[in-house]
Chains A and B, each alone.
Chain A
Amino acid sequence: MGIISRGFSGRRSAADAKLPPGQYLTTDFPVLSAGPTPHIPLDQWEFVIDDGTNVLRRWNWKSFRDLPTETFTVDLHCVTRWSKLGTSWEGVSVDTMLADVKTDASHAMARAYGDYTTNLPLNDLRNKQAWIAFRFDNKDLAPEHGGPARLLVPHLYLWKSAKWVKGLTLMSHDKPGFWESLGYHIYGDPWREQRYSGDE
């Protein structure tokens, strides 16, 4: 540990019972990125569910926007320690996207424009826990926050909510994605503070 810097406390505010352990509240919306922001023209946008070999379902922007949508308000928890509460979104439930998909898969890899990937158990993408979101705060989702559409899985750390999502690859076993392969926790439950691999 370094020498203590007199009078320094960082951004943290008084503990809030609503925050997962180790988080602090933010009112802005930090933009964290592992690469350049993709700019995907809507007439080229696609969302594909595949099993690694075969395409199971495919939507373009028009057919995607024809799906029933929901508005919802959720809290976001980023592994870099900021939390943003009460964020409002509009999106298509992943339950809707998976509705006609017959599969024995236990997990999925969310794929994004650019090279980002993140893995999740299929059960965490189902049962009203996940959306493909395209509007934030009553406006079209900005590219810097993942627009035109991002995955949103608020019960896990925000790195699981892949920005610029372009599909799901269904998998019969779990495989680590971009950050999970480099020390981050394979599951990422903020309430159990599962930040890094090896955290219980």
Chain B
Amino acid sequence: MSSHTYDYLDGNAAAGELSAIFGMDVTIAESQCAHCGAIKRFAEAHVYMQAPGVVARCAVCQHVLLRLVKARQRAFLDLRGMTCLILDTSRFLESGR
């Protein structure tokens, strides 16, 4: 599947929404794709913000890493596309503003 249309942003674009939910900066975290196993900085994920929700995709294989929908007073977060998030806990104090 090609990415000729450059209609995606990156993890930086979703950082505000996700940081509000996680209470920490996700752009500096690494994420492991549950489909292809690639471990990449979340800042480099391909993020689609235009849709009815936020969809972050693995930059390598394009499978969904994470989905977020804000529906009035509820947020729906699907993390099944990540095997894990890898966090540098020594940075927590700096990033949790």
Do chains A and B stick together as partners?
yes
Partner of B55, one of A34, A37, A197: A34
Q: By the criterion CB–CB under 8 Å, are B52 and A159 in contact?
A: yes
Interface size, chain A (Cβ < 8 Å): 25
List residues of A (33-72) whose CB comes within 8 Å of B's CBs.
33-39
Q: By the criterion CB–CB under 8 Å, are A184 and B69 in contact?
A: yes
Q: By the criterion CB–CB under 8 Å, are B52 and A32 in contact?
A: yes
| A120 on interface, CB distance cutoff 8 Å | no
Q: By the criterion CB–CB under 8 Å, are A115 and B64 in contact?
A: yes
How far does the alpha carbon of A32 sit from the alpha carbon of B52 in the complex, in Å? 8
Q: By the criterion CB–CB under 8 Å, are B71 and A196 in contact?
A: yes
Residues of B within 8 A of A114 (CB): 1
How far does the alpha carbon of A143 sit from the alpha carbon of B2 in the complex, in Å? 12
Q: Once A and B bind, how many residue pairs between them come within 8 Å at the CB atom?
A: 65
**Interface digits, A82-124 against B, CB 8 Å rule (1 contact, 0 not)?**
0000000000000000000000000000000011000000000
**Interface digits, A182-200 against B, CB 8 Å rule (1 contact, 0 not)?**
1110000000000111000
Q: By the criterion CB–CB under 8 Å, are A183 and B5 in contact?
A: no
Q: By the criterion CB–CB under 8 Å, are B71 and A183 in contact?
A: yes
How far does the alpha carbon of A37 sit from the alpha carbon of B64 in the complex, in Å? 14
| A26 on interface, CB distance cutoff 8 Å | no
Q: By the criterion CB–CB under 8 Å, are B78 and A33 in contact?
A: no
| B40 on interface, CB distance cutoff 8 Å | no
Which residues of A come within 8 Å of B, CB atoms? Answer: 30-39, 79-80, 114-115, 143-144, 159, 179, 181-184, 195-197
Q: List 8 A-B contacts (CB under 8 A).
A: A32-B50, A36-B7, A37-B7, A144-B5, A179-B69, A181-B78, A183-B76, A184-B69
